[in-house]
Structure 1
Amino acid sequence: MKALEDVKAFHVGDFVLVKFYTKTSTMYYVGLVISKEDDKYLLKFIRRHGTTWKFVYPPVENISSVREQDIILKLPFPNVGGTERVKSTLIFGLDLRCYENVRRFFLLLSLFFLIDIFRC
């Protein structure tokens, strides 16, 4: 299983986990860094494919500017399939089958990060 990177220097082409606050909760989304300007990043967001932990680009692009402090961590580079249909599916190489929503996804990523710290 790949180690997660806890870095604050994100680059164009990195996949990151971002937090957004609502009135009652915090939501987490996966996005691709497409540009950086000062302490803000322009991200192209991807969405979960059905109930799997595979991600796809939505038919209508979802691009948003995000502050650096809202980026939680850098994700490992995803695996992509070989055929044209499968190439559009992104898999991050983390076992997330037992989790149902992206909020729980953040808890799993935190757990992997803590395990990695204690290994050193």
Structure 2
Amino acid sequence: MKHVRKVFEEETSESDTENVSFQESDEDDSRIECEEETMQIDEDLSKILVNDFVLVKFATKTTIKYFVGQGEEISENEYFINFLKMIRKYAFVFLEKKDASHVSQEDVILKLPNPKTDDKATTVRSASIFKFNVSFGGFNMGH
């Protein structure tokens, strides 16, 4: 049985959701894959500026999840990050209701490359989708 998400008009099947793993990957989290190259995590996070996109780690009792966000305020040991929602692989949007939080510098894993947007988009919705040329396969991404 197929389900249609009316918000983004994306089809998924029940089998797509049955194979989701919520365990952290055994892959080396010090690298993420890009189409052009493999990026090493930049240990010098002092290069992160306001409006930069970052990958942030959140630990719960049983898992670690990663979220993409944009820096709004940067201080020496803390960032105020506005988080995006992952709508499909590599594609993210800001929520209508702001999802922002203060995070410590140690939870900011890396600075992401600038996302791509569709300059020729015909709707506001499609123009607001950020696509990163990065594979998040080694990370348990939160939605």
The TM-score with structure 2 as length reference comes to 0.62
Kindly provide the amino acid, as one letter, of the partner of residue 82 in structure 2. K
Unaligned runs of 5+ in 1: 106-120
Flag the structure with higher strand content.
2
The TM-score with structure 1 as length reference comes to 0.73
The structure number with the bigger radius of gyration is: 2
Q: Percent identity?
A: 31
- The reply to whether residue 77 of structure 1 matches residue 114 of structure 2 is yes
Instruction: After the TM superposition, list the runs of 4 or more consecutive aligned residues in structure 1 that deviate by more than 6 angstroms.
Output: none
Q: Distance in 2 between matches of 1:2 and 1:33?
A: 25
Question: Is contact 2:69–2:81 with CA below 8 Å preserved after alignment?
Answer: yes
Cα distance change, pair 95–25 in 1 and its aligned pair in 2 (3 A)? closer
Aligned residue pair count? 101
Q: Distance in 2 between matches of 1:104 and 1:14?
A: 19
Question: Is contact 1:47–1:56 with CA below 8 Å preserved after alignment?
Answer: yes
Q: CA deviation at 1:94?
A: 2.3
Cα deviations by residue, 1:3-35 (Å, 9 ceiling, x for unpaired): 536141211011000001101111110010001
Let me know the Cα RMSD of the aligned residues. 2.2
Cα distance change, pair 80–26 in 1 and its aligned pair in 2 (3 A)? same
Q: Distance in 2 between matches of 1:32 and 1:24?
A: 26
Residue aligning to 1:32: 70
